[in-house]
Structure 1
Amino acid sequence: MHKRLAILAVAALLAAPAGARGFSPGEETVFRITYLSLPTGEGRIVVGKPEGDIWPVVFQAKTQGVAGLVDIREHLVSYWDTRTKLTRGSDLKAYEVGDFHQDSARFDRATGKATVTVQRKGKKKEQTIEVPRDVQDLTSAFMWLRLQPLEVGRRYDVPVASGTHQFTLIAEVVGRERVETPAGAFPTIKVKIQTALEGKFSTKRDSWMWLSDDARHVLVRAEADFAVGSIVAELRSYTPGGEVAAR
């Protein structure tokens, strides 16, 4: 009975009209993570308390290491600038398949530079690189995409810096589908994603996202085939924020 009420509550939230496209502080999206077709953990995206024009967007992920094959724990904060719709920087603490590291990035939009700091195995390395003035990190690229109209047939090219690695994220809106999740069934917009990630999280083929077919564009499902294996995230619960961010 409680599960049925939870599903109805999520469905009502996603079906409710929103005055503008976007998201706002207090929004929380929780996902069930499946690795190699086995439920293995949880993901969470939270829009935190504003500090002036900056909204911290927190991404957390944790798996339980199925049969010792994979163990991933990440806590990433991207500092979203509500005026420019760009990230100011990010902080990451991650344990990824035996490798613990702490990374940070700070973007200087005026000079078109980013300062990247990596701490791994007791060593600290800092590097300043040139970047496009509209560059995003992966989290802010996703949040920026949610603010777009996402009309079928549209393509969005987003410059991304992941550490010192840069690439263009390509998002193509390919159609609409009804998707089943642990939170219920929802009408969605299907988006094909092309990235150029490296290392354990390099992708063998296109990734996919299904976003709610409404003004909020909430992530309902995501699929990616990484070098460490296929991972699926499915919506488990959703809590809207306060006043919706203007586009």
Structure 2
Amino acid sequence: MRKQYKGVFTGMLFSLLLSGSALAQGEAPSAFGPGEQARYRVQYLGMTAGTAQVTVGAPMKQWGKDVWPLVAVAKTESVAGVWPIKDKFVSYWHSGTQRVLGSDMMEDENRRRRRVRVKLSDDGRSAQVVKQKDGEPPRESTHELLEGTLDVAGATFALRNRALEVGREYSYPVFTGSKSFLMKAKVEAKESLGTSLGKQEVYRLRVYTEFSGNLKSKRDMSVWMTADARHVPVRIEADLALGALVAELTDYEQGKVVAPTPAVATQSGI
């Protein structure tokens, strides 16, 4: 099980908890702000396998621009048959333009470390990727991107800023650091859901991705977001090639309420 498990936990968390143009409408305060913190319990194959914490950090400078760091930290529990994992992913969110400027991934899995940095060009049409394992020289590559491309964390936070409507589908071009695809999320219903924080009114979304390998889904993923202005993900279910994974919100602290930004034009059909 150790070989099967490696990468599933971290990849799933950083690809799902977190989701240019086709962004927020600028008609209401941001659904999130600096100081927001969400904690999740993650179950894999029916047992608690680890935890994740997603934080909107304090404003900072990155590559000369003001950003909010979207920080996800994942770690496994001391469970038999599970790799020791403590990974950190940071996506640099530029609130003024509602896009990401790049990201840093720091992996520590079974005492093997790797770092991946993605930096988008100023026009957002290309990305420079640097990957490095401990004891090895860095490997660099350049990738062409569609206009408005986000990472999955940025796409998830951008979706939170949308005015969700039952029956509507939202699409975002996404770059993972090695692969590009169109992530689509359709709001299927509004319903009540029992959670660790009590009963919540939520939207149920069906999310389509194109992950491969251990993260390949047998069916579209299901995501539940609160139906209030925050649109906080409270539950995620995925049926992966290696088995079922569920992430549930266990604790939440709201961040700073941030004034709306100027309206951003959306792509046709999005």
TM-score, structure 2 as length reference: 0.79
Per-residue CA deviation, residues 171-200 of structure 1 (Å, 9 max, x unaligned), is 111001211222222110011111111232
1:51 pairs with one of 60, 66, 90: 60
- Residue 5 of structure 1 is matched in structure 2 by none
| Percent identity between the two aligned chains | 36
Q: Which amino acid letter does the alignment assign opposite residue 197 of structure 2?
A: A
Q: Which amino acid letter does the alignment assign opposite residue 42 of structure 2?
A: I
Tell me: CA distance 1:192–1:36, structure 2 relative to 1, closer, same or farther (3 Å). same
Partner Cα separation in structure 1 for residue 249 and residue 147 of structure 2? 33
After TM superposition, the structure 1 = structure 2 runs for residues 1-247 of structure 1, keeping only pairs within 5 Å, are 20-51=29-60, 53-64=66-77, 66-69=79-82, 71-95=84-108, 100-110=113-123, 112-120=125-133, 122-123=135-136, 124-244=138-258, 246=260
SS at match of 1:188: strand
Moved more, 168-177 or 71-80: 71-80
Tell me: CA distance 1:154–1:178, structure 2 relative to 1, closer, same or farther (3 Å). same
SS at match of 1:68: coil
Tell me: CA distance 1:97–1:161, structure 2 relative to 1, closer, same or farther (3 Å). farther
Q: Is the 8 A contact 1:58 1:76 kept in 2?
A: yes
**Residue 229 of structure 1: how far off its partner (Å):** 2.6
SS at match of 1:67: coil
Structure 1: gaps spanning 5 or more residues: 1-18
Per-residue CA deviation, residues 126-166 of structure 1 (Å, 9 max, x unaligned), is 10111112000010010000001110011111100001211
Q: Which amino acid letter does the alignment assign opposite residue 135 of structure 2?
A: G
Q: Is the 8 A contact 1:115 1:127 kept in 2?
A: yes
Aligned residues: 229
Q: Which amino acid letter does the alignment assign opposite residue 232 of structure 2?
A: V
SS at match of 2:60: coil
Structure 2: gaps spanning 5 or more residues: 1-27, 262-270
The alignment yields a C-alpha RMSD, in angstroms, of 2.0
- Residue 24 of structure 2 is matched in structure 1 by none
Q: Is the 8 A contact 2:191 2:202 kept in 1?
A: yes
Partner Cα separation in structure 2 for residue 206 and residue 99 of structure 1? 31
Partner Cα separation in structure 2 for residue 153 and residue 74 of structure 1? 36
Partner Cα separation in structure 1 for residue 110 and residue 189 of structure 2? 35
SS at match of 1:197: coil
**Residue 73 of structure 1: how far off its partner (Å):** 3.0
Tell me: CA distance 1:103–1:65, structure 2 relative to 1, closer, same or farther (3 Å). farther
Q: Which amino acid letter does the alignment assign opposite residue 54 of structure 1?
A: V
TM-score, structure 1 as length reference: 0.86
Tell me: CA distance 1:228–1:102, structure 2 relative to 1, closer, same or farther (3 Å). farther
